[in-house]
Amino acid sequence: MDRIRLVGGNEDVTYRHLQQLYHQDLLGRTALPKNGTHGEFVYFLDNAKALRQLGEHSKLDTSEFDWSHIKANREKYGCGEPDGVGRFLFLKHELMISRFRTELELECRQSGGRTKLEKWTQGSSIWSSVDAEPKRKLPHRPDAFFALRFPNAPEGQQRSNFFYEADRQTSNLSRFKQKLEAYLAFLIQGKHKQYGIQKMRAVLVHTLKKDWADQLKGIAAQLAASQPLAAHLFWFTSIEEIESGNLFHPHFSCCADERKRSLLD
């Protein structure tokens, strides 16, 4: 549904095209369970060989495809439907990321050229690990990295870089604290420069409920007591809050003060 909003046109025709691509083995699909039966189909890229062949005989640009991610899709969803709680939760997590990116692209389109989504990267290609005190190695696994460009802004203020974290309230606060510690270590050690950037505007933490977002913000406040960077780095919001307005409105908060932040700040 998110991608249909991006493509536009007749929804029924788009679904029919997706069905044809699936039956020609150019797309994979699975279905979200609904009341004990199949719900809406979710289509995804999962056949690298077929996509390469399609690219050779069409105008499809395959140069930016993440082939390892496509291969992983086939391995995860090869049976065609979710077969357990773990797979279902993973799919819901992926859809949450997809929905955020869709909203981001739509907001940029509606900005009249004032804001552009210059880069979006997600998946295992941006995963790594970091050394943290005391003598720990922590996984650093953002759900996405993206950059917004503002062509009309003064020189030096034309780009904002973000990490994005989709939190579905499936881990406890101790594990979440380690996640934030990994982000801090990653940035303090200058590893973000591997993206060709000098600074990171914020780490966005997007969760389901406002009260849970407030609890996560409390973890950032604990870290800020010894590492002040945490107070301004981590921005929190929830699906409940963003549903009240568009994505570029000031929906994000951090533990530094009470002011709401916008991605355009």
Name, in order, each residue with C-beta under 8 angstroms of 68's C-beta and a sequence gap of 6 or more.
Answer: 123, 124, 125
pLDDT in tens, 18-41: 888 888 877 778 777 666 666 677
**Residue 34 phi, psi dihedral angles, 5° rounding:** -145, 115
Say how far apart CA 48 and CA 11 lie, in whole Å. 26
**Partner residues linked to 28 by β-bridges:** 44
* Any domain includes 96: no
Count up the domains in the chain and report the number: 2
Place of tokens 């009309």: 152
Residue range of the domain that includes 76: 1-83
* Any domain includes 90: no
* Any domain includes 95: no
Instruction: Place 80 in a pLDDT band, splitting at 50, 70 and 90.
Output: very low
pLDDT in tens, 117-164: 999 999 888 999 999 888 899 999 999 999 999 999 999 899 999 999
- Domain shared by 188 and 263, yes or no: yes
Structural domain ending residue among the three candidates 68, 83, 98: 83
